[in-house]
Amino acid sequence: MDEIYIRTDMNNQIATGHMMRCLAIADALQKNRIKVNFIVADESALELLKKYGYKAIILYTKWNNKEAELPVLKKYIQKLNIKKMLIDSYEVTEKYLREVHNLVRVMYIDDLNINPYEVDALVCYANYWKKFHYDQSDNKIKKYLGVKYAPLRSVFWNCESHKIKNRVECLLLLTGGTDPYNIIQRVLDGIERDNFLRIEVICGVYNQNYDSLKEQYGNEKKIFFHKAVDNIERYMQEADIAISAGGTTLYELCALGVPTISYAFVDNQLDNVKQFQADDIIDYAGDVREENIVDKINMYLKKYMNDMELRKKKSLQMQRFIDGKGAERIAEALIAL
């Protein structure tokens, strides 16, 4: 059986985005009878990987100093006779990719375009990929560009049309792995909660405000808090409108066709949320570090709640934009590498 190794990390600083999209690709590889192993800097991701049925090699290095791990990584490459590696990290350097590429075939997932990439294949599924002006005439590096390669988990691969109700009943609030600015509380305090029959709040594994949020809103029977859920797609499917931070979650919401309002709280979300708005797919409420997003959220909520046809239109646009099969396409490219 062929074997592919995935080098990525997760922790309370970079959250879970890199790991989750790599898990989606790993599942697609296993569907094609390819064995997958992960390589991680530390033990932070072990529990999640075990939950999904994957093993990991722990380098016992610093996740944000990739060049320093090269001697250890090279030993594993030689010891295990590793032939192919998928790398997903913002901390790679030109030297790191070059030295790994000298030993194995490498595919790299790119969101930032900040390095000359000496690799065999490059994936940029971000909706803003055109701004990077990749040289597509350079055949030395295979390039897989655009949202068709958005690597979503298998539950998002074949989604039915989203049911749009006459009345908005359920609001879904999502932050991703972390919520450093306590956006959930600011949104809950700022919206008209009585407009909804149910408000579902999904907190990530690194959300430090979870207990205080449950305590603060515990007496409100319509608000339900969940942390690090395994079946986030169920909550998305039941939602009439979602409010979400930028990132892969927006692509998942698109695959399911859930009308969504986005916001950003880190730099690497800005291009994503702004492009979704420019493409008239997802409305953007702003950067929480610089503006009061709650006013814009309320404006968009009012617009959506009063217009069922608009919600239908947005839902259709979202599902046309993302078909959810990007992980399968990346897996096929890795196998062919």
C-alpha 337/C-alpha 332 separation (Å) is: 9
Question: Is the Cβ–Cβ distance between 324 and 145 less than 8 Å?
Answer: no
Which residues face 170 on adjacent strands? 198
What are the structure tokens assigned to 39, written together?
């390589």
Question: Is the Cβ–Cβ distance between 59 and 69 less than 8 Å?
Answer: yes
> Which residue among the candidates 18, 101, 162, 226 is catalytic per the annotation?
18
User: For residue 159, what is the DSSP state?
Assistant: P
Nearest Cα neighbor of 268 from 283, 243, 281, 250 is 250
| Residue 153 marked in a binding site | yes
C-alpha 150/C-alpha 87 separation (Å) is: 15
| Residue 252 marked in a binding site | yes
- 162 catalytic per annotation: no
What are the structure tokens assigned to 30, written together?
């296993």
Residue whose token pair is 């029977």: 221
Nearest Cα neighbor of 315 from 275, 281, 271 is 281
C-alpha 302/C-alpha 95 separation (Å) is: 51
C-alpha 95/C-alpha 89 separation (Å) is: 14
In the annotated binding site for substrate, the residues are 153, 252
In the annotated binding site, the residues are 153, 252
Active site residues: 18
